[in-house]
Chain A
Amino acid sequence: MASRVFLRRVIGAGLLAAALAGCMLASYFTQDLIAEAAILAVFALSLDFLATCGLVSFGHAGLLGVGAYAFGGLTVLAGYSPGTALAAAVLGGLIVAMAAGVFAVRTTGAFFIMVTLAMAEMFFSWVFRDRTFKGADGMGGVPRLDLSAIGVDLNDASTFAIFVVLLCAAIWLALEFLIVSPFGRTLDAIRQNAGRVSALGGSVFAYRLAAFTISGGIAAFAGAFKVQHTNFLSPDLAGWLASGDVLIAVVIGGIGTLVGGILGAAILVFLKDFLSSHFGHWYLFLGAIFMMVAIGLPRGIVGWVLELRGKRP
């Protein structure tokens, strides 16, 4: 077990080093992609953390959307400072996740997948139509955090990329420690056998709700940075395709490994860019790659690496 944790952390450190090197050395556009991947990675972490207790959401983009719309709405429409808006976005994510979770975490497995999907679609339908946020057209001019006080200009592509990579690393480390804490171990026990945990007197519902709430807060945090990155708010952020994307990132990387979500996010972002700028009907390739990964590496890349490691004497 210790070696698995160690290996995960080595992979994480390697990714961090590669990303930071990329931020400093690579071209402008690559930096942009690194920033996108880092934000998707934070989002993937939120989903993978939830998977610790055996729940897989197919509507996580709804929670990302809550953060994105809270941040975008408060800064662009209400004129709040980005710092205040960021705090409000995370708080909003926590509250919405807790309220939704009261209903959602009563179900598990495929039912949970469907309930979360339905809830996210409700949010999507609302922002898609509602004219406060300019509906389907979306809303531009979302500002980035102002860190000029400490001499950091986030409007610079390279600086922003480094900043979000570091944030991603910080969240990853925090979650790494959280999952080995007693709280995390209980979540893992629930995933393996919920019946036993409740027989031992633990409230499975309360633990799952807590995990869902924390996950919602992180997803909303990712949402607030997603709109800072593109400076643009649109309903697509909360659509089911976005939920699918992050789920796919986690599955490709390896669910239940945390660092797998980060790797998966990076692979997905760079793969899509590579395919879309080199091929016409690139979804054909993307689809084929998904199929191959599902069949060949059903536990994801990091899951596979950990298995290899486990097999060695």
Chain B
Amino acid sequence: MRIGIIAIAFSVALGASAAPAAAQNKDPLKIGVLMPTTGVFAVLGERQLKGMRFAVQEFGGSIAGRKIELLHEDTEGNPSVGLQKARKLVGSDKIEIATGIINSAVALAVGPYLSGQKIPLVLSNASTDTLTGDKCDRYVFRASYSSAQITKPIGIWMAKNAPKSIYLLASDYVAPREYIAAFKEGFLAGGGTIVGEAYPPFAKTQDYGPYLAQAKATNPGAIFSVFFAAEALTFVKQYESFGLKKDIPLYGPIGLTPPVLRAAQGASALDVVSPSNYVAELSHKENVDFRAAYMKAYGEEPEEFAVMGYDSMRFILEAVKARNGETADRPGMVSAIEKVSYVGPRGPMKMAANHQATQNVYIVKTVKKGDSVGFDVIDTFANYEDPVQGCKMQ
């Protein structure tokens, strides 16, 4: 047995033979999961894997009598490694469907290959716009979000509800730049002005002091920032330590103050306004039930990444279920995924024509909740379809 390949087989309880007898294929349903479990993205990868396994569990471990097997490979967040692992999954392990992928670089490398092999891929995190824009692909879906789907709404919203002059500060690589571009589109169209912008080098900037002093010197009404993980921790804490927040409020994607950084950021995370497709505080029944069941299964709270992992797997499993376990007809699988629609922890979910999930985008604010920090949902862009242009589906 290969320990590295996490083959999860939740066997169906004896007697629970509710599986439709019509299914012809009784081979295990092999789903390839490309997820970094080493390197900088490991922390997200582990969470998404949990969310995916939870979805499998929710389906009882099998569909139409076919046992669900997740075959995980570590992409290390590196496109060359990711591509190699995808080839391994297809060539040696004979997967039928694939999911996962945290960073866009890996998605851009792996997507075309899997498409060429007619393996449907449901992305669980990689957010670059082109994946559902000019590089959209019949076999590639995204259950998470595109950059523009998240930051265009906050741009529109801020032009109406926030200071009109903004300074932009974002980590210098493709994804944050893309977030900023979509933000500008929404914000400028709404009549806002941008007084300055700076892009600290990614993973090479320890001190944001020089940038914050520079931003302050332009007297902005607010700062809109895009940083993730360790950079978000450092940035938000330093923002607080310079005493800026009371004069210049901070806005930015939820990556600035995600629940996973709560303990580390402490009170410095307060009063940040963010767009997000999920927060734990959503009160609809599907979310409350999901959280209770997840808590029971793992003894820990699911957050955004676990939920997106869950939704990616759910899109796949719903589609397989709709086809009664028949996965050999790949174009049929593709159209089944296109037709999936359900209300999940994030709210109503369905696929848009460009294969990006249409979903609610929430505007949330970090507030004090007891001893800790939590989110208040202050506005909702309901069923917000991906604004990305340029998809010509082949």
Chain A residues with a Cβ under 8 A of chain B: 27-29, 32, 36, 125, 128-129, 131, 134-141, 157, 226, 230-232, 234, 236-237, 276-283
Decide yes or no: A137 and B2 within 8 Å by CB, A28-B92, A32-B87, A277-B73 being known contacts: no
Taking chain A's interface residues, is the majority helix, strand, or loop, or is none over half, making it mixed? Answer: helix
With both beta carbons as reference points, the residue of chain A lying nearest to B91 in the complex is identified as A28
Taking CB atoms, residues of chain B closer than 8 Å to A226 are 80
Taking CB atoms, residues of chain A closer than 8 Å to B201 are 125, 129
Decide yes or no: A276 and B74 within 8 Å by CB, A27-B92, A137-B174, A140-B112 being known contacts: yes
Stretch from B60-68, B102-110, B253-261, B354-362 at the A interface: B102-110
Besides A28-B92, A128-B202, 15 other A-B contacts (C-beta < 8 A) = A28-B91, A32-B84, A32-B87, A134-B174, A135-B173, A135-B174, A136-B173, A137-B174, A138-B108, A141-B112, A234-B109, A237-B80, A276-B76, A279-B4, A280-B37
The reply to whether A278 and B173 contact each other, CB–CB distance below 8 Å, is no
Taking CB atoms, residues of chain B closer than 8 Å to A282 are 38
Decide yes or no: A129 and B109 within 8 Å by CB, A230-B83, A277-B2 being known contacts: no
Taking CB atoms, residues of chain A closer than 8 Å to B112 are 140-141
CB B259 to nearest CB in A, in angstroms, measures 24
With both beta carbons as reference points, the residue of chain B lying nearest to A141 in the complex is identified as B112
The reply to whether B79 and A234 contact each other, CB–CB distance below 8 Å, is yes
A237 to B105, CA, bound (A): 13
The reply to whether A138 and B109 contact each other, CB–CB distance below 8 Å, is yes
Taking CB atoms, residues of chain A closer than 8 Å to B37 are 280
Decide yes or no: A136 and B109 within 8 Å by CB, A32-B87, A277-B2 being known contacts: no
Binary flags per residue of B84-96, CB closer than 8 Å to A gives 1, else 0: 1001100110000
B3 beta carbon closer than 8 Å to chain A: yes
With both beta carbons as reference points, the residue of chain A lying nearest to B72 in the complex is identified as A277
Taking CB atoms, residues of chain A closer than 8 Å to B175 are 136-137
With both beta carbons as reference points, the residue of chain A lying nearest to B78 in the complex is identified as A236
The reply to whether A276 and B4 contact each other, CB–CB distance below 8 Å, is yes
Taking CB atoms, residues of chain B closer than 8 Å to A129 are 172-173, 201
CB B102 to nearest CB in A, in angstroms, measures 13
CB A7 to nearest CB in B, in angstroms, measures 33
The reply to whether B84 and A236 contact each other, CB–CB distance below 8 Å, is no
A sample of 18 cross-chain residue pairs with beta-carbon separation below 8 angstroms, ordered by A number, consists of A28-B92, A125-B204, A129-B201, A134-B174, A136-B105, A136-B174, A137-B108, A140-B109, A141-B112, A232-B79, A232-B80, A234-B78, A237-B80, A276-B76, A277-B5, A278-B3, A278-B4, A280-B37
Taking CB atoms, residues of chain B closer than 8 Å to A237 are 80
Decide yes or no: A137 and B104 within 8 Å by CB, A129-B172, A230-B80, A282-B38 being known contacts: yes
A141 to B74, CA, bound (A): 22
The reply to whether B87 and A236 contact each other, CB–CB distance below 8 Å, is no
The reply to whether B88 and A29 contact each other, CB–CB distance below 8 Å, is yes
CB A90 to nearest CB in B, in angstroms, measures 21
Taking CB atoms, residues of chain A closer than 8 Å to B132 are none
A27 to B5, CA, bound (A): 18
CB B132 to nearest CB in A, in angstroms, measures 14
Taking CB atoms, residues of chain A closer than 8 Å to B74 are 276
A114 to B174, CA, bound (A): 28
A134 to B130, CA, bound (A): 11
B125 beta carbon closer than 8 Å to chain A: no
Chain B residues with a Cβ under 8 A of chain A: 2-5, 37-38, 73-74, 76, 78-80, 83-84, 87-88, 91-92, 104-105, 108-109, 112-113, 128, 172-175, 177, 201-202, 204
Contact of B80 among A131, A141, A234 (CB under 8 A): A234
With both beta carbons as reference points, the residue of chain B lying nearest to A226 in the complex is identified as B80
The reply to whether A278 and B2 contact each other, CB–CB distance below 8 Å, is yes
The reply to whether B109 and A232 contact each other, CB–CB distance below 8 Å, is yes
The reply to whether A137 and B5 contact each other, CB–CB distance below 8 Å, is no
Taking CB atoms, residues of chain B closer than 8 Å to A139 are 108
A231 to B108, CA, bound (A): 11
Taking CB atoms, residues of chain B closer than 8 Å to A231 are 83, 109, 113
CB B121 to nearest CB in A, in angstroms, measures 14
A125 to B88, CA, bound (A): 31
CB A30 to nearest CB in B, in angstroms, measures 9
CB A78 to nearest CB in B, in angstroms, measures 19
What are the 9 closest A-B residue pairs judged by CB atoms, nearest first?
A277-B4, A136-B173, A28-B91, A232-B109, A230-B80, A137-B174, A29-B88, A135-B174, A278-B4
The reply to whether A137 and B4 contact each other, CB–CB distance below 8 Å, is no
Taking CB atoms, residues of chain B closer than 8 Å to A232 are 79-80, 83, 108-109
CB A143 to nearest CB in B, in angstroms, measures 13
Taking CB atoms, residues of chain B closer than 8 Å to A29 are 87-88, 91-92
CB A282 to nearest CB in B, in angstroms, measures 7
The reply to whether A137 and B87 contact each other, CB–CB distance below 8 Å, is no
With both beta carbons as reference points, the residue of chain B lying nearest to A275 in the complex is identified as B4
The reply to whether B109 and A230 contact each other, CB–CB distance below 8 Å, is yes
CB B301 to nearest CB in A, in angstroms, measures 23
With both beta carbons as reference points, the residue of chain A lying nearest to B173 in the complex is identified as A136
Taking CB atoms, residues of chain A closer than 8 Å to B76 are 276
Residue with the greatest number of chain A CB neighbours at <10 A, chosen from B2, B80, B92, B104: B80
